[in-house]
Structure 1
Amino acid sequence: MTKDMTRLGQSRRSFLKASAAGALLTTPFVRAALAAGDGPLKVAGIYTVPVEQQWVSRIHVAAVAAQARGDIEYTYSENTANTDYPRVMREYAEQGYDLIVGEIFGVEQEAREVAADYPDTAFLMGSSFKEDAGVPNLSVFDNYIQDASYLSGIIAGAMSKSGNIGMVGGFPIPEVNRLMNAFMAGAKEMNPEMKFQVSFIGSWFDPPKAKETAYAMIDNGSDMLYAERFGVSDAAKEKGVLAIGNVIDTQTDYPETVVASALWHFEPTLDAAIAKVKAGEFIAADYGLYSFMKEGGCSLAPYGTFEGKIPQEALDLVAARMAEIKSGAFTVEINDEEPKSA
């Protein structure tokens, strides 16, 4: 995801006021004719990075699966610059696509203006802002996988012998912060005195920089790394320390390094949107909840080669917390504040 950092200073209140100005405040159903079930939906994905990238790959995999089931016909554009993003949205809308999915973190206002121009097209977009009744055909989502991140933190806290964990992220934005904070809370369950080194590399894809940052943390005492970015696990492997993955499962690539990973499953989010469009009931909504563990939107990856190597105390706590999260008895805090080294 390429996200324009200048948006961080934008007031959500003023943004929503501007985007809703002069717009209809009703929420009409999108493409009601689809309620009759006239074949697969035409779905287009617009991505600012390659589909192999961690975050975007989850959307792409879910769309490919929906196409294999016959629910949709799927095409996509990758490596779309933020400056071109509104144009590509318009092109797909003009071509009659029923649902357009992507990530508009760097073009929030421009994207919503495009959506307002095509009220018969459904838009499901990754966004830091909430839905707006003034743009009734645009719904938002984000990867709220704090549940799985918390559980992976428990494993990390049990496996770290030095009590010093290094954490390398892309940018200190809510989408990253909430996962890091949940991970740190989980690690403290096993070691309340756990120390953290936190750094952001200012890029969504710069493995060499992430690797160098991780090297510095290892030199400063970390024996466990939180790999929010590609490159971190490479450093851990080379230096003989452990790592925790994020969004995708990389255990097979780093069998002696990656102990666990917090996985994001986009299928519940996309499938819910497809159902709404087909029923003619797609309206502005926040699909973020479909990333929660109890909705099947995230999970803890299998331990693979680390089966039998993780302390039983940690495994027991993970099992107990997982059951409580799914039942609603335990809630992982959603903390979007920037995490700090401690």
Structure 2
Amino acid sequence: MTTSPPATAPASAARNRAEVLSRVEERLKSLLDLEHRRWAEVDHRATAPVEAISRLVRAGGKRLRPDFCVVGFLAAGGTPDDPRVVEAGTAIELLHAFALLHDDVLDGSAVRRGVPTAHVRHAEEHRSRGWQGEPRRYGEGVAVLAGDLAFAYAGRLAQELPRQARRVWAELVGEMIVGQHLDVAVAAEAVADPDLSAYIANAKSGRYSIRRPLELGASLAGGSHLSGAFEAYGTALGEAFQLRDDLIDVFGDAGVAGKPVGADADNHKMTLLVSIAVRDDPAVRELVARDDLPPGELSRALERAGVRATVEHRIDRLVTEAGEALAGTPVDEEWRVVLAEMAVAVAYRDK
């Protein structure tokens, strides 16, 4: 990392931010507990999808998206006691649960946040109890339906938000889902296009993790005047966020990351990191074209190609761009400091 450490955010900003995020956490728990009791009255089997969501939420996670939503709201002049930002923050975390539950099925991931993924856990339950049918299909079915239920809960909360916030929500959801489809499609076709990979990274990850949550929060506080600043900041930091994800997948520590590393490479995902390496290194280009790629081989080739240093330099530049995007904007100084701190935390994390 080559950027200078940001100044420390004022205590009042940190206190307000923490207060709202704590209420988001309480709302998540109360909603899922209530839904569990509701479906338990129907039949004990009916609770499985709710339990899958709850297990994922309880396993931790960075709560990155609610955090950016809350900061966008407070930076736009919102007050910590406004219940709408709590509903928006809860909705966006449930949307994230939906995305993770489906993503783990799409990628065949065995571990998420250090615990077995929903489809793996339910497949094992099917197998151990000797139920009829195929364990894998059963496990994937439960996970997909749990994701659908999380999406329904998120939509239920979002539909009560003001009109402008609902418009931001609709953009966020559409971009994420189409971006996820493109991620699957370019992997299947082995499309090595850095520009397309950058778009996919921003659509399925960067925009929905940073830019749109900021805009969603700001829209609740009537902060449309901050849209331009948040768009520029979120676009730069969103790419840095995805590049760090790519580096963690190739070079990270599975124990720290809480999920297997190397999965994207082994699944032929045409990540932004891989696309850059394919463009610049003939050996990587040749490996990506192979159907019989041994596990770990592409990761080793990426290491030899020196792509890590290239991408780290790009992340440094993007973090700088994110900070510069806020200079001279209507964002108050205290929130520029908070957003600078968040940029460093997002871009230089290890999980």
TM-score bracket, normalised by the shorter chain, equals under 0.3
The structure with more helix, counted as a fraction of residues: 2
Q: Which has the higher strand share?
A: 1
Q: Structure 2-normalised TM-score? A: 0.26
Normalising by structure 1, we get a TM-score of: 0.26
